[in-house]
């Protein structure tokens, strides 16, 4: 059983394509687990029927906390790109947040700041290690950018919780983005 593929498919469905899976998604990003399961099982692409314990196993072995289950529902905690805006809980993050990215994006980031690009929010990390992992997806030697959260809060920028290591915001203007 390919649990990595199942994990990717669940994230894809919840973050990017709930309509392809005929999922009703609420404003916090939750869908009924039963809906998700029946839709995934319709494809018959896995060697067995996918059940709740398979999803729980995917969550358990995952390197990142991407999913959350509350009662009968499941959601992706971050990463959404769907047109419907997913509301996240606003909160006060640690005083410094990091963003790992590719060197080639720096000129544009210096000019325009950090933008959500294809997602709904800019994703920030609480520690350099996490930011490095994020940046390595796009560059073997990523750059780590640092955001002074106090200054950002003074500018009226709001931060939202993704998970313990991932924070979200709408954008960070260039003057608040520093090289680490
Ligand atoms: C860059 C993964 C040019 C930004 C990760 C990033 C994360 C700009 C890319 C989560 C820019 C967007 C999100 C600007 C930002 N000009 N480039 N003005 N502003 N960028 O994937 O933060 O494994 O949408 O630096 O671990 O890389 O999927 O965002 O390089 O937590 O669970 O545009 O996705 O998690 O890329 O990653 P992304 P991200 P999962």
What domains lie within the chain, and their CATH numbers? Answer: 3-76 (1.10.10.970), 96-179 (3.20.170.30)
112 lines ligand 1 (CB under 6 A): yes
- Cβ-proximal residues to 88 (8 Å cutoff; 6+ apart), any chain: 121, 160, 161, 162, 168
- Cβ-proximal residues to 47 (8 Å cutoff; 6+ apart), any chain: 1
106 CA → ligand 1 middle, Å? 13
Judge contact between 15 and 82, C-beta under 8 A: yes
- Cβ-proximal residues to 153 (8 Å cutoff; 6+ apart), any chain: 92, 159
Residue 44 has a pLDDT of 86
12 lines ligand 1 (CB under 6 A): no
5 CA → ligand 1 middle, Å? 21
8 lines ligand 1 (CB under 6 A): no
162 lines ligand 1 (CB under 6 A): no
Separation of alpha carbons 80 and 76, rounded Å: 8
Q: What is the pLDDT along the chain (180 residues), one digit of tens a residue?
A: 899 999 999 999 999 999 999 999 999 999 999 999 999 999 888 999 999 999 999 999 999 999 999 999 999 999 999 999 999 999 999 999 999 999 999 999 999 999 999 999 999 999 999 999 999 999 999 999 999 999 999 999 999 999 999 999 999 999 999 998
């Amino acid at each position: 059983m390919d649990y990595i593929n199942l994990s990717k498919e669940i994230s894809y469905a919840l973050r990017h394509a709930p309509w392809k899976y005929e999922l009703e998604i609420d404003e916090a990003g939750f869908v009924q687990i039963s809906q998700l399961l029946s839709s995934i099982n319709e494809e018959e692409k896995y060697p067995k029927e996918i059940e709740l314990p398979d999803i729980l196993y995917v969550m358990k072995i995952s390197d990142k906390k991407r999913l959350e289950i509350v009662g009968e529902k499941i959601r992706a905690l971050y990463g959404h790109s769907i047109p419907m805006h997913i509301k996240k809980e606003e909160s006060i993050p640690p005083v410094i947040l990091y963003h790992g990215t590719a060197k080639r994006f720096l000129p544009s980031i210096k000019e325009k700041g950090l933008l959500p690009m294809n997602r709904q929010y800019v994703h920030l990390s609480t520690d350099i290690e996490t930011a490095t992992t994020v940046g390595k997806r796009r560059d073997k030697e990523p750059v780590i950018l640092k955001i002074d959260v106090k200054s950002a809060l003074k500018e009226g920028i709001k931060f939202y919780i993704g998970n313990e290591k991932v924070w979200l915001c709408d954008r960070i203007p260039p003057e608040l983005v520093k090289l680490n």
